[in-house]
Amino acid sequence: MAPSPSPSSTPTRSTLTLRVNGEEHTLSVDHRTTLLDALRERLDLTGTKKGCDQGQCGACTVLLDGRRAVSCLQLAVAAEGREVTTIEGMAEDDRLHPVQQAFLDLDGYQCGYCTPGQICSAVAVIEEHAAGWPSAVTEDVRPEAGPPPLTAEEIRERMSGNLCRCGAYVSIVQAVARAAGTGAGRPAEGAESTEAAA
């Protein structure tokens, strides 16, 4: 874009093309419009939820170019040219994404409001881990230490950007572990198992 010499003449709207779940949408947006509001109010993709609108809860998590981000702090105009994936884009036709299926089977939710964000986040967590990214609870972050195993503790830390007030964390961790194909979700650590017979 060419620099505009006069601030007063700066337009406050733009026409842009958003690429969401593989589909392109051209729309005129107020620059104040967040990606979250564009999805919800303009594209009727209301699966992405507004929990705080301040980046403090994670309910609005989507994938931007495959990486998780909070859409409430992402201006729609600044998302042009990026690939947006929302909860509506996770399932393939009628087949749920393995993370979705695990949340459903293991009851990784209650009210369901934080769930789309949890699932988008979990999909990214599994990929971040596969890419060898350490976390704040990784014992040794040095590359020579090798990638950390995706333990329950690692999942908890990595999923902590998604608050769940119903308190579904225990089954969320189990669901992420199941979808990631690790054993981390199984109740362990000395206490008796009361695993749900889902």
Partner 1 sequence: MTTTTTSTRTPAEPKGSVGSAHTRVEGRDKVTGTARYAGDIPFADLAYGWLVLSTVARGRVSSVETAPVLEMPGVLEVLHHGNAPRVDRDFNGLMGVPPDPTTGLFQDDRVPHMGWPVALVVAETPEQAREAAETLVVNYEAEPHDVDFSGARPDAYALDGHMPAVTEKGDLEEQLAASAVVVDAEYTTPEEHHSMMEPHAATARWDGGRLDVLDSNQGATWVQNDLAKLFSLDPGAVRVRSEHIGGGFGSKGLRAHQVAAVMAATVLQRPVRVTMTRRQMFSLAGYRSPTTQRVRLGADADGRLRALEHDSLNLTSSVHEYVEPSAGVARVMYDADAHRTVNRVVRLDVPTPTWMRAPGEAPGSFALESALDELAEKCGIDPIELRVRNDPERGPVSGLPFAGRNLVACFREGARRFGWADRDPRPGLRRDGRWLLGTGTAAASFFAGAGPSTARVTAEADGTFTVRIAASDLGTGARTALALVAADALGVPADRIRMHIGDSDFGPAMIAGGSMGTRSWAWAITAAAGELRERLALSGDVPPEGITVRSDTTEAVRALAQKERHSFGAQFAEVAVDPATGEVRVRRMLGIFAAGRIINPLTARSQLVGGMIWGISMALHEEAVRDSGSGGLVGADLAGYHVAANADVALVEADWIDDPDPEDPVGIKGIGEVGIVGAAAAIANAVWHATGVRHRHLPIRPDRVLLAGTATGTDTGGGADA
Partner 2 sequence: MREFGYQRATDVSGAVALLDADPHARFLGGGTNLVDLMKSGVERPARLVDVTALPLDRIEPTDDGGLRIGATVTNSDLAAHPLVRHRYPALTQAVLAGASGQLRNMATVGGNLLQRTRCAYFTDVTGPCNKREPGSGCPAARGEHHNHAILGASDHCVAVHPSDMGVALTAFDAVVSYETADGPGELPLADFYLPVGDTPHRETALPPGALITGVTLPPVPAAAHSRYRKVRERASYAFAIGSVAAALDVRDGVVRDARLALGAVASRPWRARAAERVLTGAAADAATFGAAADAELAAARPLPRNGYKVTLMRNLIVAVLTELAGPTRPAGPAQEAAR
Under rule CB under 8 A, which residues in 14-43 are in contact with partner 2? 14, 30-32, 34
Read off the amino acid at residue 30. Answer: D
Distance between CA 160 and CA 128 in Å, rounded? 14
Rounded to 5 degrees, φ, ψ at 15 are -95, 130
Under rule CB under 8 A, which residues in 41-100 are in contact with partner 2? 53-55, 58, 61, 64, 67-70, 73-75, 77-78
> What burial letters (b/e) apply to 132-161, b meaning 16+ CB within 10 Å?
eebbeebeeeeeeeeebebbbbbbbebbeb
Site for partner 1 contains 180 (CB under 8 A): no
- Closest distance of CB 22 from partner 2, Å: 21
Count of alpha carbons within 13 angstroms of residue 193, beta-carbon side = 8
Give the one residue of 73, 83, 134, 160 binding partner 1; rule: CB under 8 A: 160
Only segment of 40-48, 95-103, 141-149, 164-172 that touches partner 2 (CB under 8 A)? 141-149
Distance between CA 14 and CA 32 in Å, rounded? 11
- Closest distance of CB 151 from partner 2, Å: 10
Site for partner 2, rule CB under 8 A = 1, 3-5, 7, 10-12, 14, 30-32, 34, 53-55, 58, 61, 64, 67-70, 73-75, 77-78, 121, 124-125, 128, 131-144, 156-158, 160-163
